[in-house]
A and B are shown apart, each in its own frame.
Chain A
Amino acid sequence: GNSVTQMEGPVTLSEEAFLTINCTYTATGYPSLFWYVQYPGEGLQLLLKATKADDKGSNKGFEATYRKETTSFHLEKGSVQVSDSAVYFCALSGRFGGGSQGNLIFGKGTKLSVKP
């Protein structure tokens, strides 16, 4: 079935370090791909998205490229800040048919802690 696999955390980095959080997916058709961020005590916020192969989503210094050939959507940031500490979720969406069209399938989340 359709699924999302993320690297397991927690990930601990020093400020200004380079960040990569791996995400791969399994899906039929052509899903849209998303990264969501959840700050402590808050709900999810959309961080970036890509809707077709080779699209690059970017926001707040984060980037992810939709790679169909490797079914991946890895999240990267060149220089993390303490304020980036949060849980990051990779997700996919698509028209899977039936009553659940459009619902998101999430990875398990990766907790990032950035130390000053």
Chain B
Amino acid sequence: GAVVSQHPSWVICKSGTSVKIECRSLDFQATTMFWYRQFPKQSLMLMATSNEGSKATYEQGVEKDKFLINHASLTLSTLTVTSAHPEDSSFYICSATPRVISGYTFGSGTRLTVV
């Protein structure tokens, strides 16, 4: 089945630094990947849609310059949290699918803690 690998699974960084999170589709090609953010005890909120070879589409209220998305190949999308602050601490999850009707496969998520 479709497998999505996300790395790292957890990261602690200092305020002001940048963190890169990778999302890979291991056994299929994904022209589109999605990045979500989950606050404690809340649902996942879509941050952006990552499109291979073009600019990402961001949801309203998501800062494009803070959350940089690069989808350079059909199997890899990266999310970079720039100049991280404690309020960026959250659980970030990516997802992709070879076919919408099949359902989406999620990465295992990245727990980001900014100190």
Contacts and interface: CB of A to CB of B under 8 A. Distances in A.
Interface of A: 32, 34, 36, 42-46, 49, 51, 89, 93, 98-100, 102-109
Contacts of B32: 102
Nearest to B32: A102
Given A43-B93, A99-B49, A100-B49, A89 B43 contact: yes
Interface of B: 6, 32, 34, 42-44, 46, 49, 51, 57, 59, 93, 95, 97, 100-101, 103-109
A104 B57 contact: no
Contacts of B97: 102
Contacts of A103: 34, 46, 49
A100 B59 contact: yes
A93 B43 contact: no
